[in-house]
Structure 1
Amino acid sequence: MSKDVEDAAGKGISFFERYLSVWVIICIMAGVAVGQFLPVIPDTLSRFEYAQVSIPVAILIWLMIYPMMAQIDFSSIANAGRKPKGLIITLVVNWLIKPFTMFFFAWLFFRVVFAPFIPEALATEYIAGAVLLGAAPCTAMVFVWSYLTKGNASYTLVQVSVNDLIMIFAYGPIVMLLLRINNVVIPFDTIFLSIVLFIIIPLAAGYVSRVILIKRKGLAWFENVYLKAAGKFTIVGLLLTLIILFSFQGEVIINNPLHIVLIAVPLIIQTLFIFVIAYLWAKTWRIEHSVAAPAAMIGTSNFFELAVAVAIALFGLNSGAALVTVVGVLVEVPLMLFLVRIANNTRGWFPAEPQFVKNN
């Protein structure tokens, strides 16, 4: 990693975020150990369900997602018409390219390349998990990637806010379409419940609390005190969710350790493929780097917290779909830091233009 990226990473990404893959590995081992030696814990947790949704896990997932949604400033959408090229790239890549290429790579590797190693039924679940990842563009970590590439923070906020609104309406239909192609039929009411639980409710809670707290305490307090404190719950919620998930996945991991590596292959290829498309498109359109880099990063990284939540809700804690979304968490941070380095080393490819300025 270059010195500039290392310096930026030290400022823009927290200790836990920077070593997230390490914590995920630790949680995998801890979860497997709990499942093997303390089976009473997953057995007890499995009893607390409503409409096939694990209540303890749902609570932890809300802790993960809410702080991210509270960062979104929907008033910034008023500026969406300025410098439309960056927004066009983000939206086209996120909603017209990424979910379908993720499905293709997952199908290619799980059903063709790795077919001798993965049973057909499990391959179906793995593809489903990949679909849930591919249809969920990044919401929170993209602000870190934008910072590390010296991205335009105001424009990144516009891109993320617009994507979050589209996600309310587009995530469900895209997931249902691709799952149906994969011979997995999910009732609409099940998908709708997942969207309400893990997108609409935390998004509404984030918006309402943002408006109220900024009005009472001011924007500086909200961003520098409240969001930093709330952000700690994201990490805690994620790690505890992973321990619970892998307490159910223990047998799968012990019997098929190679599957973790096999799952990672199409996810890594998809990530690199999407970055190349978005980044080179921005270069062709001669968009300034402060907009081009975040535009590529939003489509490249995933809203893995949402993918984990929906996979658990739709397929269960011990499903192959849930396992794929967690492997997505495992590979994303080191891979995204690698792409940050590439973006910073190719800054000279892009023109220097006046930055987008947000109207307050």
Structure 2
Amino acid sequence: MSLFERWLTLWVALCIVAGIALGQLFPAAFRAIGAMEVAQVNLPVAGLIWLMIVPMLMKVDFGALRQVGRHWRGIGVTLFVNWAVKPFSMALLGAVFIGWLFRPWLPAGEIPSYIAGLILLAAAPCTAMVFVWSNLCRGEPNFTLSQVAVNDAIMVVAFAPIVGLLLGLSAIVVPWQTLLLSVGLYIVVPVILAQGLRAALLRRGGESGGEAGLQRALAAIGPASLAALLATLVLLFGFQGEQILAQPAVIALLAVPILIQVYFNAGLAYLLNRWTGEAHCVAGPSALIGASNFFELAVAAAIGLFGFRSGAALATVVGVLIEVPVMLSVVAIVNRTRGWYEAGPAVRRLAGR
């Protein structure tokens, strides 16, 4: 791990502070950047996400995707956590913390809306950023891509029914434009671009081509990927700095169930993978996919259902604010516990076959 990666948590903290400060100093500039949207998808942020995930997608060998079936345990665990546990556990956490424990300190009229926002956040698994988390924990790139693709396919048909069930609404207005545009921007186009670059490098002759040339190119563009992550943080916190400073107590209270949710689902996926004997390079991204959220879709759905200034919209924005720092902590836990994970009886037994 490079010196830059080793101190990534520090750079993240500095970018959070810088984003909030710049948002206050240059509000017009951040409003202009924030207005560059199509179907609630911010185009500058989408561009930075491309810089983040294209290097990871260049590692994907589509010829090896047929071997992903060997990791059926990891796929099964992630699907179970994403669709049978996460939305329902968040509904329970929202009811306990927001609807009961924290009720005296929250605006009474907004409590149902806050809980709805938390549910919307949990019902949509992450699409783009998970490639970054998988790369940081040395995850299997083919597994990560195939798992995200499966989740996207399920999300198209399952998001509305699950949210409708948990919110008690008979007709959920799914922001289809946001959902389909996000899948296109964060999966389809980056995959095509990354695979085109990969094929061009592998075809090229001499020292700059072939497998060695591909690895050199990946090493060269790796820092740009992390720099894009930090720039995204500056933008996100610049966009939301006013809300953070205006309602710090409400945001802190809303963050509690989200934090518990992330660690619970990541821990559950990680332990289930260890119990079933899955390899660590699959268990890491499985835990991270199981814990992270597709916040663009959640924010768009909250605004569409409850309005821009609703408690639901604010709750989904809190998910945006804490996503990167919390997921980095999960990455650190996964990396530091690799020895313990691989000492599991089922992992050792299947690794020896």
1:106-121 pair list within 5 angstroms: 106=94, 108-118=96-106, 119-120=110-111, 121=113
Q: In structure 2, do the counterparts of structure 1 residues 92 and 72 end up closer, same or farther at CA, with 3 Å as the change threshold?
A: farther
Q: Percent identity?
A: 29
- 1:297 paired with 2:289, answer no
- 1:323 paired with 2:318, answer yes
The CA deviation string for residues 30-57 of structure 1, in whole angstroms up to 9 with x for no partner, is 2222222222212322443334433323
- Name the SS of the counterpart of 1:71 in structure 2: coil
The CA deviation string for residues 67-124 of structure 1, in whole angstroms up to 9 with x for no partner, is 2322222222221343644443344444544454345435543444434444333443
Q: In structure 2, do the counterparts of structure 1 residues 189 and 271 end up closer, same or farther at CA, with 3 Å as the change threshold?
A: closer
State how far apart, in whole Å, the 1-side matches of 2:102 and 2:279 are: 35
1:33-112 pair list within 5 angstroms: 33-82=21-70, 84-102=72-90, 104-106=92-94, 108-112=96-100
> Paired residue for 1:190?
178
- Most deviating of 341-350 and 130-139: 130-139
Contact 1:64–1:233, Cα closer than 8 Å, also in 2: yes
Contact 2:134–2:141, Cα closer than 8 Å, also in 1: no
- 1:252 paired with 2:243, answer yes
Instruction: Give TM-score, length-normalised by structure 2.
Output: 0.77
- 1:235 paired with 2:226, answer yes
State how far apart, in whole Å, the 1-side matches of 2:40 and 2:121 are: 17
- 1:160 paired with 2:144, answer yes
Q: In structure 2, do the counterparts of structure 1 residues 110 and 258 end up closer, same or farther at CA, with 3 Å as the change threshold?
A: same
Q: Calculate the aligned-residue CA RMSD, in Å.
A: 3.5
Contact 2:16–2:233, Cα closer than 8 Å, also in 1: yes
Q: Which amino acid counterpart does residue 240 of structure 2 have in structure 1?
A: Q
- Most deviating of 331-340 and 128-137: 128-137
> Paired residue for 2:194?
206
The CA deviation string for residues 124-164 of structure 1, in whole angstroms up to 9 with x for no partner, is 3344334445687933422432x4xxxxx7xx344223213
Q: Which amino acid counterpart does residue 50 of structure 1 have in structure 2?
A: V
Contact 2:124–2:297, Cα closer than 8 Å, also in 1: yes
Contact 1:28–1:242, Cα closer than 8 Å, also in 2: yes
State how far apart, in whole Å, the 2-side matches of 1:221 and 1:304 are: 35
Q: How far did 1:270 drift? A: 2.7
Q: In structure 2, do the counterparts of structure 1 residues 328 and 32 end up closer, same or farther at CA, with 3 Å as the change threshold?
A: same
The CA deviation string for residues 240-269 of structure 1, in whole angstroms up to 9 with x for no partner, is 222222222122111222345434433332
Contact 2:263–2:291, Cα closer than 8 Å, also in 1: no
State how far apart, in whole Å, the 1-side matches of 2:52 and 2:38 are: 20
Unaligned stretches of 5+ residues in structure 1 = 1-10, 148-152
Q: Which amino acid counterpart does residue 116 of structure 2 have in structure 1?
A: T
Contact 1:99–1:134, Cα closer than 8 Å, also in 2: no
Q: How far did 1:173 drift? A: 3.3
Q: In structure 2, do the counterparts of structure 1 residues 137 and 278 end up closer, same or farther at CA, with 3 Å as the change threshold?
A: farther
> Paired residue for 2:121?
129
Contact 1:68–1:139, Cα closer than 8 Å, also in 2: yes
Q: In structure 2, do the counterparts of structure 1 residues 274 and 284 end up closer, same or farther at CA, with 3 Å as the change threshold?
A: same
Q: Which amino acid counterpart does residue 211 of structure 2 have in structure 1?
A: L
- 1:267 paired with 2:295, answer no
The count of aligned residue pairs is: 332
